[in-house]
Structures are given as structure tokens and as C-alpha cells.
Amino acid sequence: MQEMKFLWRYIRRHWLQYLIGIAALFAVDLVNTYIPQFTGNIVDGLTLKVEEMKGVFPQNPDMGWVMALVWKILLMGGLIAIGRFGWRFFLFGAARSIEREMRDDMFRHLETLSMRYYNNHKTGDLMAHFTNDLMSVRMLVGMTVITTFDASVMLILVLYKMIANVDLMLTLIAVIPLVLIIFADLFYGKAMHKRFLAKQEAFSDLTDQTQEAVSGIRVIKAFVQERKELYAFAKTNLRNKEKNMAVVRLRALFMPVMDLIVGASLLITLLLGGYLAIKGTISVGQFIAFNSYIGMLVWPMMAVGECITSISQGMASLRRIFRIFCNKPEIVDDENVQDVQEIRGDLEIKNLTFAYPDADKVQVLKDISVHVPAGTSLAIMGRTGSGKTTLANLLLRLYDCEDGAILVDGLPIRRIPLQVLRQHIAYVPQDNFLFSDTMENNIAFGVENVPFERIEQAAKDACIHDNILDFPQGYQTLVGERGATISGGQKQRSSIARALLKDAPVLILDDALSAVDTDTEEKILQNLKENRKGKTTILIAHRISTLQQADRILVLEDGKMAEVGSHEELLAQNGVYAGVYRKQQLEKQLEGEGGDVL
């Protein structure tokens, strides 16, 4: 089974911990089986002494042998305490280590997966894998291993002691009801696996809905949809409760059945064992020891059900985790990758046609060709859905296009190591993302060990420095999740500062100035012009004021090249670009007249 091979990779790293822990567990079980035997010996010895001493030695009988057995029992109790600490420390420690390593590996693997994977998987479901599923796997490699080994060894040792030290026939008859547990366990394990898998899926849905509601709380409040969201959450929460109750009901049914079977075995022991003791076939001490052994058998028999439960739950969760690792990254270094360490920023797109993998081959970009020499700027304009962001994603290799359709410094983009490519590109996406951290750390996110002076200068170039100084703790101010505590314009400018601090040969701004006013936009563009000399800059925007200073402007229309040229050349063509320019100029004029009236 592939899942078990996958799990074994983690287990074998901690083989020594498992070996020591299992040895300690075996020693505890072995020592435990001697205590009923010694107790029976004490009872039989005392009975014999009482008979011998009646009327003969009425005072000061020799009790040294009793104390010797008592000291042995005390010594065994100490050994059991040490052994229990040992197996708990090593076996539980190994399970915790495996959980940590698997969580690290899963996070590392998720970082390698392409955007396509995240488009098809919800955040809440992934969070459930990191919590409930990993906890179940930890139980599988920890408590389940302990329970399985402990129950098996204890069962064998106790049965041996019962047969060797008491009576074979009594043992066989007393154990007959316990065999029924095997049949109950088979039914229980199969049913538990299905119910637990459904329970985990329901928890994933609940986690995902909670995460979405919390992330989108502003939209929920703005559209007064609290009641609707509450009903939706209650429905998902009810389903989660029902799936959990299905597991609880099965477990609640199973445990009384186990108690009934164990009770039947105890009843046989009391009746038949008592009869044999009265007949003299076994001694009173053996009868007491046998009852203790039956009590010790209860745990292994009950543990069978617990083992099946833990194995069923652990394997269900392991399969869910293993499915993540089965997803391979689609964007990887090409087998013919070149040893490139630096990028100048010369970008060339040649007859680029692209369709998203899951879009039924609907072409988003069609026959695009444009050259951006190193150190120049390219502006991209087009209606929503015309393919502007897709083009940026292809330059970052978030998706792959046909080999040779995009060249970087004359090399096909797939020939450049992926890490080198992205290290040399600074990107400000449409959906500006800020972490729940300080403003300083958010701006410095893409650069390590950067002096504060550079962070401050990047903030000044992005026109966010003064705003940060107005915050309660300045650059140490914590922003909320996804930057919820600051405005949209402030998030955009913080993201621009982050990109400017990286000082990469290529800078891509994807509609990064849409939430700032025109005066601030003009200042940022002027700072870009001064600071980006000799470096390649790609501006994606709708406003002509953002685009017109670029060396070349590419106009996209339904994924196709409508026009390309400088601002003056496109105005002279009197095409799409010129039409948008005249419209925006008119809107600007009308806004100015409205301002005069006010």
C-alpha cells in the first residue's frame, strides 16, 4: 500500500526510539504478569501457614517469606513505573516528531505546487489536513502502535501464565466468550472507517466556511448578509455534528458489547473457578490469581476495538494527507535548464498563445508578440478580461506557455532556473496581500537582513512613509489579517514599497495604482522613473495617466494585440487607445468643472 510506504519513511527515521520504547513496554508487560502469581503465592502460603500453626505455634510465626514476596512486588512496581516513563517518553516522543516532520514536509510541498492546485482546493480543507488529519496520523504512529503491541504481548503472556500456573481447561472455557470480540471488531472497524472519513470531510467544510466568513466579514456586513451567513454556517455546523455523532453512536454501541462479553468471561471464571477451588483442583491462591489474570485480559480485548478505531481513523487521514503529496508541481525547472545566475531584463514575447489548463482550451491570449529591451518600460492596457494579468503570470512562470514563446535575455523562459527568474522579478499583484505583521516586516518581506534606512526609503518612494508615521506605532504598527486595518490605497502603496525594496531588474505592477489619487500616482510614477533607470518596468493599468510615460504601450483586446507603440504613436493611430484617452480626458474635465461649481 502506497500510503504505508509513505508513512514508513517517517517511522524508520525514529527506529531507535521505537526500539527502546517497545523494549520498555515489553518489560512492563512481563513484570506485570508476575504480580498476580506472587499474590496467589502469598495467599496459598498464608493459608498453609495458618493450617500448620493451629495449636502448634500460636505466637510469633515466621513471616519472613511473606515480606520477601512483598518486597518483590514493590520492586516490580518500581520497575513498572520506570518502564512506563520510558515507553511513554520514547514512543510518544517519536509520534510527535513524526507529526512535526510531516507537517513541515506538507507545508514545504504546498509551497511547490502550482496555482492550478490552489484554484481547485479550498483553504479550509487544507487547514483541516494540518490539524485534525495530522492529529489522527500522530495517534496512528503513537498510541495505536503502543496499544497494538501492548495488547498483543499482554494477551500472550497472560494466557501463558493462566495455562501454566492455573488450569488449561478453565482458561479455554473462560476465554471462549472473548473470541466473539474478533467478530465484533471486524464489523466495527469497517463501519468506523467510513464514518470517520465522512466526519473529516465535514470538518473540512466547516473550517473552510468559517475561514471564508471571517476573511469576508467586511463584505458580509456591507451587504447585511449576517443572517444568511448564519443560516449557512448553522447548516454546515449541523452536518459536522451529525457526522461526529455517527462516530460517537458507533463507539457508544461497541463499548457496551465489549463489556457484556468481558462480563460473561468473568462470570464463567467465578462459577467454574470457584467450583474447582472448592473441589481442590486449584488452590485458593490460584483462583485469586486467575481472577486477576482475567482482569488483565480485559484491557487487551478492549484494546482491540480501540486499535481498530485508531487504525481506521489514522488510515483515513493518512490517505487524505497522501493525496496532497501525490500532487506534483507543474511548474518546475526544465531538464535543459541553463546555469543562469543573473538576469538583465530583456523580455521578448513571440507569437504567444495561451489557454488555462482547466478552461476547455479557451484561449486567453492569442498571437501576442512584443519586445521589451532591458532598461525600458512597457505599459499594458485593456478591458477587464483581456489577458493583462495572465501575461504577468506567464512572465513569472506561475503558469507555463509553449516553449520558446517567452524569451528572457534571449533564452526561452523555461531554460532559466525558476528560483533565479523569480528572484530577479519584483511583482505587485492586483490583490495586494499584507501579512498579519508589522508594517516594517511587510515591506521587508522579499529581502533578508535589510537596513531600516532602505525600508524607509522604499516607503518614501511609494508615498506611504508619511502615512506610516501617523500610525500608532509607526513602522512597528501591526496590520490586521490581509491588511484589514489599513485602506486599499495604503495596501497598494505598501506592496509597491515591498517591490521597490527588492530592487529587481524587472518590476511588474499589475494595476497597482488603481486605489491612489492622481497626485499621489504622479509622484510614485516620477519616483519610479528616477529609481528604475536601466531596469525593466512593466505597468498594467486602465488609466492613461499611468501608462503614457512608458517607452511602449501594448493595447490588448479580447486577448489579442490591438495596438502597440508609444503614447504619441497610438494617439496618431486614432484607434482604441486614442478613444480611451479622449474619454478619460473628458471625464477629467467634467470632474474639474464639477469641482469649480462646488
pLDDT in tens, 297-316: 777 776 776 777 778 778 88
Q: What mean pLDDT comes out for the span 330-354?
A: 88
Q: Are 85 and 54 in contact (CB under 8 A)?
A: no
pTM score above 0.75 = no
User: Is residue 65 very low, low, confident or very high in pLDDT (cuts 50, 70, 90)?
Assistant: low
**In angstroms, rounded to a whole number, what is the distance separating the alpha carbons of residues 90 and 596?**
79
CB-based burial of residue 39 (10 Å sphere; 0-12 exposed, 13-18 middle, 19+ buried)? middle
Tell the residue number behind the cell numbers 493599468, with chain if given.
541
Q: Are 26 and 153 in contact (CB under 8 A)?
A: yes
pLDDT score of 104: 92
**In angstroms, rounded to a whole number, what is the distance separating the alpha carbons of residues 76 and 34?**
9
User: Is residue 53 very low, low, confident or very high in pLDDT (cuts 50, 70, 90)?
Assistant: low
According to CATH, the superfamily of the domain at 2-54+63-326 is: ABC transporter type 1, transmembrane domain (1.20.1560.10)
pLDDT score of 66: 65
Q: Are 372 and 533 in contact (CB under 8 A)?
A: no
Q: What mean pLDDT comes out for the span 221-245?
A: 85
Q: Which one-letter amino acid corresponds to residue 163? A: I
> Of 456 and 124, which is predicted with more confidence?
456
User: Is residue 517 very low, low, confident or very high in pLDDT (cuts 50, 70, 90)?
Assistant: confident
Q: How far is CA 529 from the centre of its chain?
A: 42
DSSP notation for 508-553: EEESTTTTS-HHHHHHHHHHHHHHTTTSEEEEE-S-HHHHTTSSEE
> Residue 60: pLDDT above 80?
no
Q: What mean pLDDT comes out for the span 546-565?
A: 89
Q: What mean pLDDT comes out for the span 36-53?
A: 69
Q: Are 459 and 497 in contact (CB under 8 A)?
A: yes
**What is the DSSP pairing of strand 377-382 with strand 406-408?**
unpaired
pLDDT in tens, 441-485: 888 888 888 899 999 999 999 899 998 898 888 889 888 766 667
Percentage, residues of the chain above pLDDT 70: 92
Question: Worst-scoring range by mean pLDDT, 39-43, 224-228, 338-342?
Answer: 39-43
**In angstroms, rounded to a whole number, what is the distance separating the alpha carbons of residues 154 and 131?**
33
**In angstroms, rounded to a whole number, what is the distance separating the alpha carbons of residues 38 and 419?**
69
pLDDT score of 255: 74
Q: What residues contact residue 116 under an 8 Å CB cut-off, 6+ apart?
A: 330, 357, 358, 399
Domain boundaries, the chain: 2-54+63-326, 339-424+532-598
Please provide residue 363's backbone torsions phi and psi, each rounded to the nearest 5 degrees.
-75, 125
Question: Worst-scoring range by mean pLDDT, 87-91, 200-204, 359-363?
Answer: 359-363
**In angstroms, rounded to a whole number, what is the distance separating the alpha carbons of residues 492 and 514?**
8
User: Is residue 537 very low, low, confident or very high in pLDDT (cuts 50, 70, 90)?
Assistant: very high
User: Is residue 506 very low, low, confident or very high in pLDDT (cuts 50, 70, 90)?
Assistant: very high
User: Is residue 595 very low, low, confident or very high in pLDDT (cuts 50, 70, 90)?
Assistant: very low
Q: What is the dihedral of CA 196, 202, 208, 214, to 10 degrees?
A: -120
Question: Worst-scoring range by mean pLDDT, 9-18, 307-316, 493-502?
Answer: 307-316
pLDDT score of 102: 92
Q: Are 358 and 119 in contact (CB under 8 A)?
A: yes
Closest to 506 (Cα-Cα) out of 404, 370, 409: 409
Q: Are 461 and 450 in contact (CB under 8 A)?
A: no
**In angstroms, rounded to a whole number, what is the distance separating the alpha carbons of residues 91 and 262?**
29
User: Is residue 385 very low, low, confident or very high in pLDDT (cuts 50, 70, 90)?
Assistant: confident
Q: What is the mean pLDDT of the chain?
A: 83
**In angstroms, rounded to a whole number, what is the distance separating the alpha carbons of residues 236 and 210?**
10
DSSP notation for 290-352: HHHHHHHHHHHHHHHHHHHHHHHHHHHHHHHHHHHHHSPPSS---TT----------EEEEEE
**In angstroms, rounded to a whole number, what is the distance separating the alpha carbons of residues 25 and 77?**
14
User: Is residue 64 very low, low, confident or very high in pLDDT (cuts 50, 70, 90)?
Assistant: low
Q: What mean pLDDT comes out for the span 166-176?
A: 81
> Residue 594: pLDDT above 70?
no
> Residue 598: pLDDT above 60?
no
Q: Are 332 and 186 in contact (CB under 8 A)?
A: no
pLDDT score of 348: 92
pLDDT score of 597: 37
CB-based burial of residue 183 (10 Å sphere; 0-12 exposed, 13-18 middle, 19+ buried)? exposed
Kind plus residue range of the DSSP H or E element containing 447: none
Tell the residue number behind the cell numbers 520510558, with chain if given.
86
**In angstroms, rounded to a whole number, what is the distance separating the alpha carbons of residues 358 and 170?**
69
Closest to 259 (Cα-Cα) out of 219, 305, 292: 305
DSSP notation for 76-113: HHHHHHHHHHHHIIIIIHHHHHHHHHHHHHHHHHHHHS
Report the topology of domain 339-424+532-598. Answer: Rossmann fold (3.40.50)
pLDDT in tens, 235-292: 989 998 998 898 888 878 877 877 787 778 778 878 888 888 888 788 888 888 888 8
